[in-house]
Structure formats: structure tokens, C-alpha cells
Homo-oligomer: A and B are copies of this chain.
């Protein structure tokens, strides 16, 4: 068994249910802005669809590193414009944009992390920015030991720098850091950078008809059915 000292976590999808959380906020925003006819889940999906293209501008070097709150705000305005939603105040827009700061963990997360925390150093390795991740953690009492991720290392996953610089910030070797993620692609990039890997499937991240990431596609170092199961497999009971 590899000598892992820190567990770092993908957050959107792996730790928190972003789709239900964002849809919940649209469910109160839409009627208040004259569009009760629209499906809150469809708007959550539309917003999320602009996530990778926004980061890709930074990864490609066409744009300097820009924190996710800013990218989220730009993509939110595009989604609202595409759906002819106008007249929201700056306060309303800012509040809705921070829906990503108010996402809830999947039901197994807090118990699993509280067990892992006894033996491992725990931190998010998310493309979310520090304020987003820290506000989320404070609200949901997620017991991180530090708030890491794209912003402190100024690189978006799956760029290798996002994984390698995070290990460096922790003063650990890459293999001493294990990425926990529900996404095989994220784990592939982490493994390529030399990190250890653990997979937990989140089969309804994208809703009932989800077709991707239903199971581990490579021989990851650990595979858990949820965070409590993964904690046990990592020797934390």
C-alpha cells in the first residue's frame, strides 16, 4: 500500500451535489424574475456546460488565470441572456452566483471525512476558488485541514501543475498525496502527475440518466462505494 499522507478531493460532484444545489437556487430565482415556466435543473445544466470552456481560456494561456467566481459570473450572465431573463439586480446576480458557495455535501461525506481526518491531512483540490470552497466548508462544516485548489496554485485541473504544485504546497511527494474523485478523467491526470488515486462513483451527479463515470475505468489505488466505505479501505474506522 502506498504511503499516502494527504487526501485531496475533487469537490463539484465528488464532495457536493452541485446540480441539486444550483437547481434549488434557480427554483427560487426564476419565479421571482418572471420565468416560473423554466426548468431549474435545465438551467443548472446550462450553467455547468459553460464551466470547462471558461477554464479552457485560462488553461490555453489566452487569458491569465481568473478565479472561478468570475468565470461563473460571466457564464451565468450568458445563461440568463440566452433565456431572456433580464432586470435582475446586481445583488440578485451576486447572490445567485454564490449558489456554488452554498452547495450541500452528499449524505456520506461528513461521516467519511471525520474518520479520514484522524489519519490523513484533508484538503479540497478543486477548480473552485478559495472563498467559494471556504464558505462552502464553513456552511456545511466540512472538516478540511487547509483550502487548496486551482487558485493557490494558479492552474486549473487537469493541467499537471494543478496536481504537482498542490503536493509542493503540502511539502509532500506527489505519491504521498491521493486524489479522491468521482471522475475518471481527473484521476487519470492526477496519476500521470504521480499522485495516488481513489475513486468513488456519484451515479446521479448529472441526474437520473447519467451515462459517464458510473464506475472505475482504470485500476485506481482505491475504489470506495462512498466516503464511509473509502475511509474503511484507507484504514480509518
| A residues 117-165 touching B (CB-CB < 8 Å) | 121, 123, 129-131, 133-135, 137-138, 145-148, 151-152
A192 to chain B minimum Cβ distance, whole angstroms, is 24
Please name all residues of chain B whose beta carbon is closer than 8 Å to the beta carbon of A226 when the two chains form the complex: none
For A121, list chain B residues within 8 Å (CB): 134-135, 138
A169 to B131, CA, bound (A): 6
Q: How many residues of A contact B (CB 8 A)?
A: 20
- Chain B contacts for A133, CB-based, 8 A: 146
Q: Note all chain B residues with C-beta closer than 8 A to A148.
A: 130
Judged by a CB distance under 8 angstroms, whether A170 is at the interface is: yes
Residues of B within 8 A of A147 (CB): 145-147
A1 close to B (CB within 8 Å)? no
A153-183 vs B, CB cutoff 8 Å, 1 = contact: the mask equals 0000000000000000111000000000000
Report the Cα distance A146→B132, complex, angstroms: 11
Which B residue sits closest to A132, measured CB to CB?
A: B171
Please judge, given known A-B contacts A69-B171, A171-B69, whether A145 and B134 are in contact too, CB under 8 Å: yes
Cβ proximity bits A94-136 to B, threshold 8 Å, 1 near / 0 not: 0000000000000000000000000001010000011101110
In the complex, how many angstroms separate the beta carbon of A141 from the nearest chain B beta carbon? Answer: 11
Q: Does A130 lie within 8 Å of B69, measured CB to CB?
A: no
A131 / chain B contacts, CB cutoff of 8 Å: 169-171
Question: Which residues of B lie under 8 Å from residue A152 when comparing CB positions?
Answer: 130, 151-152
Residue of B nearest to A123 (CB): B134
* Contact across chains for A130 and B151 when beta carbons are under 8 A apart: no
Instruction: List residues of A (67-92) whose CB comes within 8 Å of B's CBs.
Output: 69
Give A contacts to B, CB under 8 Å: 69, 121, 123, 129-131, 133-135, 137-138, 145-148, 151-152, 169-171
